[in-house]
Chains A and B, each alone.
Chain A
Amino acid sequence: MMLLQRLVQYAEETTDSAPFHREREFVWRIDLFSDGRPARLTDIREPDAKGRLRGFRESTPAMTRSIQVAAQLGADDVQYVLGWGDDTTKPDRVAQCHQQFIELVSAWADTAGHEPAAETVRAFYRDGDYTHWERPEGYGAKQGVLLAVDGQLLSKAHSAIRFWTDEVTRRKSGKDAAAGLCLVCGRHGALVKTIPTKIAARLVPGAGNDVALVSVNENVFGYGLTTSLAHTPICFTCGNAFSTGLTHLLGSEHAYRLPGQDSVMAWWVVGAPPRDVYDVMPRTADPGAVRRLLSRLRSGDLDRAAALADQQESSERFCSVTLGGNNSRIMVRDWIDMPLTSALRNLALWHEHSHMVSEWEDEPQRHGLAILLMATGRWEGSRYADHSSRSARRPEHIQRDLLARALRGVALPPSVPHHVLRRIGADGHIDSARAALLRLALCDPKKKEPSVTAGLDEKNQDTAYLFGRIFSVLEQIQYAASEGKLNATFGDRHLAGAVANPTPAVAAGRKLASAWLAKLRRRPNTRAKAVAFAETLDLIADLADASKPLPTYLPARRQMQFVLGYHQQRAHDREQARARKAAQS
C-alpha cells in the first residue's frame, strides 16, 4: 500500500485533531468577556526546565501560506490579530493582514449567528479599544496570539471548526474547483490544488522552512510543465489527514532524529500493539524483550512466522518512513511497509549481530543505536565528540544506514565500516561499540548463524585476525614489563599503521617482545606471567598458515578482522584477569 494511504490510516486511528489544524507556539492570549468586562492581553510564556521562557503550544486552525497574506481563524500572529508591526514588517502589509483577520473572524461571527462568543468578538473589533492598548515591550509581529472568549479558545468552538473547514476548501480549491477520484482513498471528492497543511521545519532535518510531503511547486515537477496538484488528484480529507498523521508521528517517541543526521525516521505498526515492537527497536530495546525475541529466532519460530506472513499477506504490518528536507519539500529517503514478523526477524538478527565483548564486562554487550552512532564520531581522549559537534566527523547518513540494516535486513554500505576503520586509525581507539559496528558489517544480515563471533574466536585462522590477537598480546607484554609507566605505548605508536598493514608492526613488536619478556622473567613476581605471555604468542602464531602471508595492504574486510582480533583478545585477557583476581580474593 502506498505511503499516503498508510499515513491517512494512521491519522484516522491515532489522532483526534480537528481538520486543518496545526500545533504552534503562542506567546500572547487575548481574553474577551461577554459580560462587558474589559478585554486583556496576557503573556503566557513560562520558563522551561533550563529556565528559558517558552510559549504555550496549542493546535489551532492553520493553512499553508507562503508569501501572500492569508489569515487563520481565531489564533494568528500579532500582526494579524492586533495589527501591530515591528522593525521587520511593512506598515501597509500589516494593515492588510489585520484587515483580513477581521474580515475572516467577522465572516465566522456572521455564520455563528447569535452565539455569545461571536457577538463578543464582533464587538471587540467594532469598538477597536485594543488600538489604544499600550504595546508590551519586546513583542514581535510574528509571535502567536490566541483569542479566547469567557475562558474558551475561539478556535475550539464547533462553529469555528466547521467554518474553517469550508474556508480552507474554498481557498485551496482555486478558481477552477475540481472534483474527482482521490489517489489516496480511491473515492470521489473535492480535490486540492495544493496541500492545505505543512509539516513544521523543526521536525524534518534539512528543511529550510515548513515543508509539504506532496508538492509540485515548479512547472518541471508537474505533468506537462504544470504546477499545483492538477494532475495529482488528492481530496481535502486525505490532504489534511496525511499531513496530520505525519506531524503526529514525527513528534512522537517513534521518531528517530539524532542531531547531525540528514534524516528523521518514524515508524508505526498496523494491526498490532506497537509496544512489542517499541521494546525491541534499536534505540529503545528492553533487555528482557530482546531476550524473548532472540529465543524465538533461535527456536525457528520467527522464521516460520515470517514465511507464513509473506505467503498469506499478513494484516499485521510494520511501516516506517525516512524523510529529509530539501528547502520547502520533503524527500522520501526510505519507505518500508512489510509484514510485522519479517521486521521482527530482521530486528532479532540485528540484536544477534550487534553483540560484542567489552573490556569491562564478562558477558557480550548489546549496543543501542545512539551508542553505535556515537562511536562513528571522533574520540576526544575520554569520550566521543558530541552529536552536534561540527568536528565530530560523523557522516550524516549513518543513522539511516544502521536503521536500514536493522529493519530491512540489508547489508551496511561499505562506506560505514570504511569510516569506522578510518576513525580507528585516526583516533587510535577501539571499543566494543566500534567492534560491534564492524561485526554488523561482516555478518550476513539474512543469516541466523553469524559468521563472526561476539567473543574471542579461538578457531579463527584468518591471518589478519591472528595478527590482531598478537598485536594485543604484544601491547599487554609491554605494559606488564614497564608496569604501566609509559608515555607512548606500542599500540599508540603502531596501531594506526597496523590496521591496514599489520606485518611490519607485528614483526617489530615480536623483536621488542624478547626484551620485554626478559625483563618480566628477571622479576620473581612476573616470571610466571612471562611464560604465559610467551605461550600465548606461540599458540596464536601456530594457528597462522605460513603459506598465506598477508598482502602489503589489507582489503577492508581483513582490516576489520584485524581490529576484531585485537579487540576480542584484549577483552578476553581482561576477563581472564578479572577471574584470576576474583579467585585470589
Chain B
Amino acid sequence: MREELSPSASGEPPVSVQVWGPGALFTRPELKAERVSYPVMTPTAAIGVLEAIFWKPEFRWRPVAIDVLNPIRQFTQRRNETTDLVSPSDALLRRRTVDTAENRTQRHAVCLRDVAYRIHAHVELEPHATKNEAAYRDQFRRRVERGQCFHQPYLGTREFSAYFGKIDERERITGHSDLGVMLHSVRRRGEDVAFSWFTARLENGRMHIPRTGITAAQPVGA
C-alpha cells in the first residue's frame, strides 16, 4: 500500500492514519465567497488533522500522499453567516463589538459527502528536537490506536468533524483526474503570509504531494 511513497530523510516510510466523516469542505481559493470544495482533501487540511491528533513544537508534519477511499460525491448547502468578524488585533484591543444579526449574509457551499481518506505523512524534526523521528512516530501511532486527540479533527471546516483510526486494507477509488492548482502550504513570517502551490492530480485514488510548492505572488520587479 505504501510501497510507492517516498521515504523520510532517515529512510523510513511515512506514518499513516485513516480519517472519515459524513461531510467535508476543502474550499478552493478562487471560489471561496460562495464556497466550492476541492474534490480531495488538501495538504493543509491533512496537516490540520495530524496536528489535532499529535503536535509538538519539536517537529512538523509533511504529508506525502492522500488516498481517496470513497467515491467523490457532492452536496450543497446555503446558510446564514455574518460579515462582522473582528481580526485578532481588533479583538485584543477591544475596539468594537460584534453585531452578527445586523451583518447577516447568506453563503452557499458545494461540499463533499461521505468522505474517507488515508493520510501518509513524514515527521520532520526541528533543530531543537530532543528525540528522534521514530519516537514521535510511535507516539503518534499510540495516540491513533487509543483515539486520542488534542481537539476533534475536522475536514476542511470545523462544521465537518472527522473520525480517525488505524489504516485498513480498503482499496482506493480508481480513475485519474486533474484537480488544478492546489494550495501546498502557508508560511507566516510576522505579519507577512506566503502561499505555495502545486499542480494536483489524482492517480488511481492517490494524490502525491511534492516536497515543496511553487511560491505565489512576488511584487512586480522583485
Kindly list chain A residues whose C-beta atoms are within 8 Å of the C-beta of B29: 183, 223, 231-232
Whether A183 contacts B181 by the Cβ 8 Å rule is: yes
Whether A178 contacts B217 by the Cβ 8 Å rule is: yes
Kindly list chain A residues whose C-beta atoms are within 8 Å of the C-beta of B176: 313
Whether A218 contacts B83 by the Cβ 8 Å rule is: yes
Q: Which of B31-39, B126-134, B149-157 contacts A (4 or more CB under 8 A)?
A: B31-39
Kindly list chain A residues whose C-beta atoms are within 8 Å of the C-beta of B76: 333-334
CB-contact partner of B31 in A214, A217, A324, A334, under 8 A:
A214
With the chains together, A161 CA to B83 CA distance in Å? 38
With the chains together, A282 CA to B110 CA distance in Å? 24
Whether A221 contacts B220 by the Cβ 8 Å rule is: no
Whether A311 contacts B216 by the Cβ 8 Å rule is: no
Whether B178 contacts A181 by the Cβ 8 Å rule is: no
Residue A219 at the chain B interface, CB threshold 8 Å: yes
Kindly list chain B residues whose C-beta atoms are within 8 Å of the C-beta of A221: 32-33
- 196-247 of chain A: CB within 8 A of chain B: 213-225, 230-234
Kindly list chain B residues whose C-beta atoms are within 8 Å of the C-beta of A5: 180
Q: Which of A93-101, A184-192, A426-434 contacts B (4 or more CB under 8 A)?
A: A184-192
Whether A177 contacts B220 by the Cβ 8 Å rule is: yes
Residue B93 at the chain A interface, CB threshold 8 Å: no
Whether A190 contacts B220 by the Cβ 8 Å rule is: yes
CB-contact partner of B216 in A173, A181, A184, A220, under 8 A:
A181
Whether A178 contacts B83 by the Cβ 8 Å rule is: no
Residue B214 at the chain A interface, CB threshold 8 Å: yes
Residue B219 at the chain A interface, CB threshold 8 Å: yes
Whether A216 contacts B180 by the Cβ 8 Å rule is: no
CB-contact partner of B219 in A178, A233, A331, under 8 A:
A178
Whether A332 contacts B193 by the Cβ 8 Å rule is: no
Kindly list chain A residues whose C-beta atoms are within 8 Å of the C-beta of B217: 178-181, 191, 230, 233
Nearest chain A CB to B39 CB, angstrom units: 10
Kindly list chain B residues whose C-beta atoms are within 8 Å of the C-beta of A166: none
CB-contact partner of A219 in B31, B81, B85, B177, under 8 A:
B85
- 181-222 of chain B: CB within 8 A of chain A: 181, 193, 195, 197, 199, 214-220
Whether A2 contacts B179 by the Cβ 8 Å rule is: yes
CB-contact partner of A178 in B74, B107, B179, B220, under 8 A:
B220
B61-85 CB mask vs A (1 if < 8 Å, else 0) is: 0000000000000101010011111
Given contacts A183-B29, A231-B29, contact A310 B175 (CB under 8 A): yes
Whether B216 contacts A180 by the Cβ 8 Å rule is: yes
- 1-22 of chain A: CB within 8 A of chain B: 1-5
A326-345 CB mask vs B (1 if < 8 Å, else 0) is: 10011111110100000000
Kindly list chain B residues whose C-beta atoms are within 8 Å of the C-beta of A335: 36, 110
Whether B108 contacts A181 by the Cβ 8 Å rule is: no
B87-129 CB mask vs A (1 if < 8 Å, else 0) is: 1000000000000000001111010000000000000000000
With the chains together, A254 CA to B217 CA distance in Å? 36
- 364-407 of chain A: CB within 8 A of chain B: none
Whether B34 contacts A326 by the Cβ 8 Å rule is: yes
Residue A176 at the chain B interface, CB threshold 8 Å: yes
Q: Which chain B residue lies CB-closest to A183?
A: B181
Whether B36 contacts A332 by the Cβ 8 Å rule is: yes
With the chains together, A360 CA to B74 CA distance in Å? 40
With the chains together, A181 CA to B216 CA distance in Å? 5
Whether B34 contacts A329 by the Cβ 8 Å rule is: yes
B158-180 CB mask vs A (1 if < 8 Å, else 0) is: 00000000000000001111111
Residue B3 at the chain A interface, CB threshold 8 Å: no
Q: Which chain A residue lies CB-closest to B74?
A: A334
Whether B180 contacts A178 by the Cβ 8 Å rule is: no
Nearest chain B CB to A112 CB, angstrom units: 26
Whether A181 contacts B110 by the Cβ 8 Å rule is: no
Nearest chain A CB to B189 CB, angstrom units: 13
Kindly list chain B residues whose C-beta atoms are within 8 Å of the C-beta of A324: 108
Kindly list chain A residues whose C-beta atoms are within 8 Å of the C-beta of B110: 332-335
Residue B28 at the chain A interface, CB threshold 8 Å: yes
Residue B4 at the chain A interface, CB threshold 8 Å: no
Whether B174 contacts A311 by the Cβ 8 Å rule is: yes
Q: Which chain B residue lies CB-closest to A225?
A: B87
Kindly list chain B residues whose C-beta atoms are within 8 Å of the C-beta of A333: 76, 108, 110
Whether A216 contacts B74 by the Cβ 8 Å rule is: no
Nearest chain B CB to A415 CB, angstrom units: 14
Nearest chain B CB to A223 CB, angstrom units: 7
Kindly list chain A residues whose C-beta atoms are within 8 Å of the C-beta of B87: 224-225
Whether B34 contacts A178 by the Cβ 8 Å rule is: no
Whether B175 contacts A311 by the Cβ 8 Å rule is: yes
Nearest chain B CB to A82 CB, angstrom units: 37
CB-contact partner of B218 in A173, A180, A232, under 8 A:
A180
With the chains together, A181 CA to B81 CA distance in Å? 31
Kindly list chain B residues whose C-beta atoms are within 8 Å of the C-beta of A332: 31, 34, 36, 108, 110
Q: Which chain B residue lies CB-closest to A176?
A: B219
- 162-183 of chain A: CB within 8 A of chain B: 173, 176-181, 183
Nearest chain A CB to B168 CB, angstrom units: 25
Whether B108 contacts A331 by the Cβ 8 Å rule is: yes
Kindly list chain A residues whose C-beta atoms are within 8 Å of the C-beta of B193: 223-224, 231
Q: Which chain B residue lies CB-closest to A216?
A: B33
Kindly list chain B residues whose C-beta atoms are within 8 Å of the C-beta of A1: 177-180
Nearest chain A CB to B220 CB, angstrom units: 5
CB-contact partner of A183 in B30, B33, B178, under 8 A:
B30
CB-contact partner of A218 in B30, B105, B174, B175, under 8 A:
B105
Q: Which chain B residue lies CB-closest to A338?
A: B177
A484-511 CB mask vs B (1 if < 8 Å, else 0) is: 0000000000000000000000000000
Among B84, B177, B180, residue most surrounded by chain A Cβ atoms (within 10 Å): B180
With the chains together, A310 CA to B177 CA distance in Å? 10
**10 nearest A-B pairs in the assembled complex, by CB-CB distance:** A180-B217, A2-B180, A331-B108, A221-B33, A331-B34, A313-B176, A178-B217, A1-B178, A218-B83, A183-B181
A sample of 6 cross-chain residue pairs with beta-carbon separation below 8 angstroms, ordered by A number, consists of A183-B30, A221-B33, A224-B87, A313-B177, A326-B34, A337-B177
Contact residues of B with A, CB < 8 Å? 28-34, 36, 74, 76, 78, 81-85, 87, 105-108, 110, 174-181, 193, 195, 197, 199, 214-220
Instruction: List 20 additional contacts besides A216-B32, A218-B105, A220-B105; criterion CB under 8 Å.
Output: A2-B181, A4-B180, A177-B220, A181-B214, A183-B197, A219-B85, A223-B193, A224-B193, A230-B217, A233-B216, A310-B175, A311-B175, A329-B33, A331-B34, A332-B34, A332-B108, A333-B76, A335-B36, A335-B110, A337-B177
Contact residues of A with B, CB < 8 Å? 1-5, 173, 176-181, 183-184, 186, 190-191, 213-225, 230-234, 310-311, 313, 324, 326, 329-335, 337
